[in-house]
Amino acid sequence: MNTLSVFRKIAVAEGLSYVLLVFIAMPLKYWADMPLAVKYTGWAHGLLFMLYIVFLIMAWVEYKWSFKRTALFGVASLLPFAPFWVDKKLKEDN
Q: Burial, 61: exposed, middle or buried (Cβ in 10 Å; 0-12, 13-18, 19+)?
A: exposed
pLDDT at 23 over 90: yes
pLDDT category of residue 63 using cuts at 50, 70 and 90: very high
Average pLDDT over residues 25-30: 95
Whole-number Cα distances in Å, 94 to 4, 24, 40, 44, 87: 10, 33, 34, 29, 11
Burial of 6 (0-12, 13-18, 19+ CB in 10 A): middle
Q: Is pLDDT above 90 for 1?
A: no
Q: With bands split at pLDDT 50, 70 and 90, how would you rate the model's confidence at 94?
A: confident
Q: What is the pLDDT of residue 16?
A: 97
